[in-house]
Amino acid sequence: MKILVTGGMGYIGSHTVVELIAKGHECVILDNLYNSSINVLNRIEEISGVRPEFVNADITDENALRNVFENHQFDAVIHFAGLKAVGESVTIPLKYYDNNVGGSIKLYQLMEEYNVNNLVFSSSATVYGSSFEMPLKEAYGRGTTTNPYGTSKLMNEMIIEDYCHARKELSAVVLRYFNPVGAHKSGLIGERPNGIPNNLMPYISDVAIGKRERLNVFGDDYDTKDGTGVRDYIHVVDLAKAHVLAIEYAAKNKGMETINIGTGNGYSVLEIVEAYKKASGKDVPYVIAPRRAGDVATCYADPNKAKELLGFEAQYGIEDMCLDSYNFIIKNPNGIE
User: Is 149 an annotated catalytic residue?
Assistant: yes
Active-site pick, 108, 149, 163, 267: 149
Query: 53 vs 281, which CB is nearer to ligand NAD?
Result: 53
Examine residue 85 and tell whether it contacts ligand NAD (CB under 6 A). no
Examine residue 124 and tell whether it contacts ligand UFG (CB under 6 A). yes
| Residue 233-252 contact track with ligand UFG, rule CB under 6 A, x = bound | --------------------
Query: 178 vs 227, which CB is nearer to ligand NAD?
Result: 178
| Residue 7-46 contact track with ligand NAD, rule CB under 6 A, x = bound | x-xxxxx-----------------xxxxxx----------
Examine residue 84 and tell whether it contacts ligand UFG (CB under 6 A). yes
By C-alpha distance, which of 113, 118, 121, 99 is closest to 67? 113
| Residue 158-197 contact track with ligand NAD, rule CB under 6 A, x = bound | -------------------x--x-----------------
Examine residue 328 and tell whether it contacts ligand NAD (CB under 6 A). no
Examine residue 295 and tell whether it contacts ligand UFG (CB under 6 A). yes
Q: Which stretch binds ligand UFG (CB under 6 A): 73-81, 162-170, 210-218, 327-335?
A: 210-218
Examine residue 157 and tell whether it contacts ligand NAD (CB under 6 A). no
Examine residue 96 and tell whether it contacts ligand NAD (CB under 6 A). no
Q: Which residues bind ligand NAD (CB under 6 A)?
A: 6-7, 9-13, 31-36, 58-60, 80-84, 99, 103, 122, 124, 177, 180
Q: Which residues bind ligand UFG (CB under 6 A)?
A: 84, 86, 124-126, 150, 179, 198-200, 203, 215-218, 229, 231, 269, 292, 295
Active site residues: 149
